[in-house]
Amino acid sequence: MKVDLQGRIAVVTGAAGGIGRAIALLLSENGATVAVNDVSDRGVETCREIEKRGGVAKFFPGDVGNAESVNAMAAAVEQDLGPVDILINNAGINTGKDGRHPVHEFGDAAWRRILSIDLDGVFFCSRVFSGGMVKRGRGVIVNIGSVLGLVPIRLQCAYSAAKAGMLNFTRSHALEVGGYGVRVNGVAPGSILTEGTKDLFYKDKQLSESLLSHVPLARPGDTKDIANAVLFLVSDEASYVTGHVLVVDGGWTAGFAREW
């Protein structure tokens, strides 16, 4: 799919690796100038890759879970690149395997850290960028949630709660800004192959087969599958789509994939 994003400024949070990097690359390939945000300096590598392919990008470090850091990052983006047309709230974290606990054993620090990045972060970034979008009467926001925000999972209460919260935040924000020409949508990925999930699930044959037995398409998604969904949602081709959560999960949440 090819769309025209020439002249648009796009911010992608958490774009040093994984899904965020794929989104940044695809928006750039379609003409956008990309502000690459990440808490990790590896964001510079995403910019280098974009420039190597003939695109324009600049790295803006910042922690989305910290309001002051987000406000400073936003001011720097607007000063260097101009008003922002597209915001992709992608940065997100979960616990590793060792951090999975039932609610009665879940620690304060893990709960706060996940909520602050996965939920507060979406609020902080949406707040700082959507004010200008409302004033200018145009803009698009896409929030990267998870199927675990639609269907909860055991032992990951913070992630399930944060992702459910941010998906309803998405719809709530869409209601507020629709009248000003600003669209807000979400994407809910299923299991997507990244460096992180390769280590967590896909190195172990048994674990990988068990996970994929729930997925009708019987494969993990590619980061490009999520980037393509985002590209559609930010494009003018989706100009009548707002307040929607697009599930991209190989059919995982369509129903029971196995008999019992």
Q: Is 159 a catalytic residue?
A: yes
Letters for 114-133 (x = contact with ligand NAP by CB under 6 A, - = none) are: ---x----------------
Determine, following the binding rule CB under 6 A, whether residue 70 of this chain makes contact with ligand NAP.
no
Determine, following the binding rule CB under 6 A, whether residue 143 of this chain makes contact with ligand NAP.
no
- Minimal distance, residue 2 CB to ligand NAP, in Å: 24
Kindly list the strands in the beta sheet with 33-38, ordered across the sheet, starting from the edge strand earlier in the chain.
Answer: 57-61, 33-38, 9-12, 86-89, 139-144, 182-189, 245-248
Q: How far apart (Å, rounded) are the C-alpha atoms in residues 251 and 247?
A: 9
DSSP state of 151: S
Letters for 144-173 (x = contact with ligand NAP by CB under 6 A, - = none) are: x-x---------------------------
Binder among 46, 50, 65, 183 for ligand NAP (CB under 6 A): 65
The label of the residue with tokens 């029971």 reads: 256
The amino acid sitting at 207 is L
Letters for 18-57 (x = contact with ligand NAP by CB under 6 A, - = none) are: xxx----------------xxxx-----------------
Determine, following the binding rule CB under 6 A, whether residue 64 of this chain makes contact with ligand NAP.
yes
Binder among 16, 34, 35, 141 for ligand NAP (CB under 6 A): 16
Site for ligand NAP in 184-243 (CB under 6 A): 189, 191-192, 194, 196-197
Minimum CB distance to ligand NAP smaller for 41 or for 176: 41
- The closest alpha carbon to 245, from 134, 158, 165, 131, belongs to 165
Task: Specify the 3-state DSSP secondary structure of 188.
Answer: strand
**CA atoms within 13 A of residue 183's CA, in its CB half-sphere:** 19
Spot the catalytic one: 159, 180, 202, 240.
159
Helices (H), the chain: 18-29, 43-52, 67-80, 108-115, 121-136, 157-177, 195-197, 205-212, 223-234
What are the distances in angstroms from CA 56 to CA 20, 135, 222?
16, 26, 24
Determine, following the binding rule CB under 6 A, whether residue 17 of this chain makes contact with ligand NAP.
yes
- Minimal distance, residue 89 CB to ligand NAP, in Å: 8
Catalytic residues: 159
Q: Give contact residues for ligand NAP (rule: CB under 6 A).
A: 13-14, 16-20, 37-40, 63-65, 90-93, 117, 144, 146, 189, 191-192, 194, 196-197
